[in-house]
Amino acid sequence: MGRTPPSPSAPHRTLRVISVIAATGIALSCGTNYAYSAWAPQFASRLHLTATQQNLIGNFGNIGMYAMGIPGGYLIDRRGPRWGVFAGVLALACGYFPLRAAYLAGPGAYGMPWLCLMGLMTGMGSCTAFSAAIKVCATNWPRHRGTATAFPLSAFGLSAFFYTTVSALVFPDDTAGYLLLLACGTTVMVFVSMFFLQLVKASSPYEAVPTDERPDLGRRDSNRLRRASDHSRHDGRSSGEIDETSSLVDSDTTSTPGDLLERKSHHPHHPKPEVTGLALLHTPKFWQLFIMLGLLCGVGLMTINNIGNNARSLWHHYDDTASDDFIQSRQLLHVSILSLASFVGRLCSGIGSDWLIHHHASRFWTLVASALAFCGAQVVALTLENPNHLFYLSGLTGLAYGALFGVYPALVADAFGPSGLGINWGAMTMAPVLSGNIFNLAYGRILDAHSHFQGDGKGGGEVRCEEGRGCYGSAYWVTLGASVVGVGWSLWCIRLEKVGRMREAREMGGREHEG
C-alpha cells in the first residue's frame, strides 16, 4: 500500500507556526514600557528629577505606544510587516541606549526634552513592532485568529515580568544593568525574530477568506450562491468545502424579529458594513468605545507608571530603616505582579468574552468586570498603609488592565468589521494619550507637593516623601471617580447594544416579509 502524499498545505502551516513563534518573541520585548516604574524612581533620583518630570518621561513613552498606532499600521499595510519590525528595532535602540547613557552621565547631562524624546522612541518602537506581529498572526490564521493572536498578546503582557526577572538574576540592584538589558534585549530579540516573521499566502481560497469577512449575501443572492455551489461540485470540489459558504444563506423563508435577534446572538461576527477611516468619527459606536478605553486605560496607566513611587512612599513612612536596595527589590516585585496579573486578565477576558457570546450575552460585561476591578484597586490605594500588602493594588490593577485589552480588539472588530481593524484599532488607542497624560501628571504634581529634598551629607541626596498614602492619595480619588464612570458607561453600552440589536432584528424581519 502506497504512502499517503503530504498535504500541499503542510509547508504553509509550518511557516505560519514559525511566524507565530517569531511574533511571540517580538511581543515579549514590546511591553517593556510597563516596566517603567521598576527603574524610573532610581533614574529620577540619580538625575535629580521631580515626580512630575519622571511622569512626563513615562507619558511620552505612553504617547509613543498609543499615538503610533495609525502611522505604524499604515507603514505595515503598505510596505509589509518586516518594515514595521525594523522601524521598531531602530526606535527601541534610539530610546533605551541613550536612556542608559543619560543615567550613567548623571544630572544635567541631558535636558528634559531629550529625555522625553528617548521615552517617546521606546514607545514608538514597541508599538510598531508589536503591530506588525499581530498583523502577521491575524492574517496567516484567518480561521483561528483568536488563538493565533493570543500568543503574542499574552507575551506582551508578560514582557515586564520577563525583563524584571532576568534583571534580578543578572543585574541585581543595578539600574544601569537593567537599562542595558532593556537596550540589548529588546533590539536583539526583535531583530532576530524579524527574519522568521512573514505573511504566508493561503494554500486555498477558503483559508484566505474567513466566514466573518465575506460579504453579506442577502435573500436575493441565494440562487446565485446555489449556482456557485453547483459549479464547485462540477469542478471536483467536495461538498464539505462549500458548506461554510452555503451556511451564510438561511433556508427559512420567513423569520420573526425574535428569531433574527437570537440568530444574531449565535453569530457575533455576522457580516456588517465595514467602517474605517474618517467615517469612524461619524459613528456613535466609535465614541462610546473611545471614551470607555480612555477612561479605564488612563486609570490603569497611572498605577502602572507609579507603582514604584507608591512602594517608595509607603516604605519610607512604614519603615525608615528600609534600604534603597530593599525598596528597589520591592518595586521589581510589584512590576512582576502587574505583568503576571495582566497576562491572566488577558486570557480570562478573551476566553470569557467568547463564553458570553456563546451564552447570548454581551462582550461588554467583560468591561463591566474590568471597571469594577479598577474601582476595587482605587479603594485599596486609598486605604492601604502597610506596604507589605501593596500586592493587592498591583494585582487588581494588572487584572483589570489585562481584561480591558484582552477584549477590546474583539469589540472593535465586532463594531466596525475586521478588514479595517489595523487603522481602527490605531485610532482607538489614541484615547489613552489624553487620559494617561492627565492622570499621570496629576499624580506627579500631587506627589511633588508632598515631597522634599533630603541631603545625604555628601553634597547629594534625593527628593522623597515620607507621608505614606498621603503622598499620592488625592490622585486616586480622581481615578476612583473615573472608574465609577467607567462602570456606568459600560452598562450604558450594554443597553445601547441590546436596543440596537432589537432594532436591526425588526428591520431585517420587515425586509424579509416584504421580499
Give the closest residue to 294 by CA, choosing from 66, 46, 69.
66
Residue 483 predicted with pLDDT over 90: yes
Residue 227's pLDDT is what? 38
Could you write out the three-class secondary structure of 365-388? HHHHHHHHHHHHHHHHHHHCCCHH
Residue 147's pLDDT is what? 64
Out of 306-310, 426-430, 441-445, pick the least confident: 426-430
Residue 11's pLDDT is what? 67
| Residue indicated by cell numbers 446572538 | 265
Q: In which element (H, E) is residue 461 found?
A: strand 461-464
Using pLDDT thresholds of 50, 70 and 90, give the confidence band for residue 16: confident
Residue 94's pLDDT is what? 95
Residue 252's pLDDT is what? 39
Give the closest residue to 58 by CA, choosing from 112, 1, 133, 111.
112
Q: Report d(CA 153, CA 332) in Å as an integer.
A: 22
Provide mean pLDDT across the span 51-67. Answer: 87
Residue 332's pLDDT is what? 84
Out of 27-41, 112-126, 367-381, pick the least confident: 27-41
Q: Report d(CA 425, CA 123) in Å as an integer.
A: 16
Using pLDDT thresholds of 50, 70 and 90, give the confidence band for residue 455: low
Provide mean pLDDT across the span 42-59. Answer: 88
Using pLDDT thresholds of 50, 70 and 90, give the confidence band for residue 137: confident
| Residue indicated by cell numbers 451564510 | 248
pTM passes above 0.85: no
Provide mean pLDDT across the span 196-207. Answer: 66
Q: In which element (H, E) is residue 324 found?
A: helix 324-358
Using pLDDT thresholds of 50, 70 and 90, give the confidence band for residue 251: very low
DSSP state of 242: T
Q: Could you read off the pLDDT of 384-406 as tens digits, one per residue?
A: 999 999 999 999 999 999 888 87
DSSP state of 462: E
Residue 203's pLDDT is what? 57
Q: What is the mean pLDDT of the chain?
A: 79
Provide mean pLDDT across the span 324-346. Answer: 86
Residue 323 predicted with pLDDT over 90: no
Residue 397's pLDDT is what? 95
Q: Report d(CA 134, CA 142) in Å as an integer.
A: 12
Provide mean pLDDT across the span 167-192. Answer: 91
Q: Report d(CA 331, CA 390) in Å as an integer.
A: 10
Comparing 75 with 25, which gets the higher pLDDT? 25
Provide mean pLDDT across the span 249-270. Answer: 39
Residue 249 predicted with pLDDT over 50: no
Please give the backbone phi and psi of residue 463, each rounded to the nearest 5 degrees, phi first: -90, 125
Are 236 and 295 in contact by the 8 Å Cβ rule? The answer is no
Distance of CA 467 to the CA centre of its chain: 34
SS3 label, residue 331: helix
Provide mean pLDDT across the span 303-310. Answer: 89
Residue 430 predicted with pLDDT over 60: yes
The residue type of 249 is V
Sign (positive or negative) of CA dihedral 434, 146, 501, 400? negative
Residue 87 predicted with pLDDT over 90: yes
Alpha helices in 239-279 (DSSP H): 243-246, 257-266
Percent helix, percent strand, percent coil in the chain, to nearest 5? 80, 0, 20
Q: CB 3: neighbour CB atoms within 10 A?
A: 5
Comparing 426 with 514, which gets the higher pLDDT? 426
Q: Could you read off the pLDDT of 263-275 as tens digits, one per residue?
A: 343 444 445 567 8
Using pLDDT thresholds of 50, 70 and 90, give the confidence band for residue 214: very low
Residue 56 predicted with pLDDT over 60: yes
Provide mean pLDDT across the span 31-55. Answer: 87
The residue type of 488 is G
Residue 143's pLDDT is what? 64
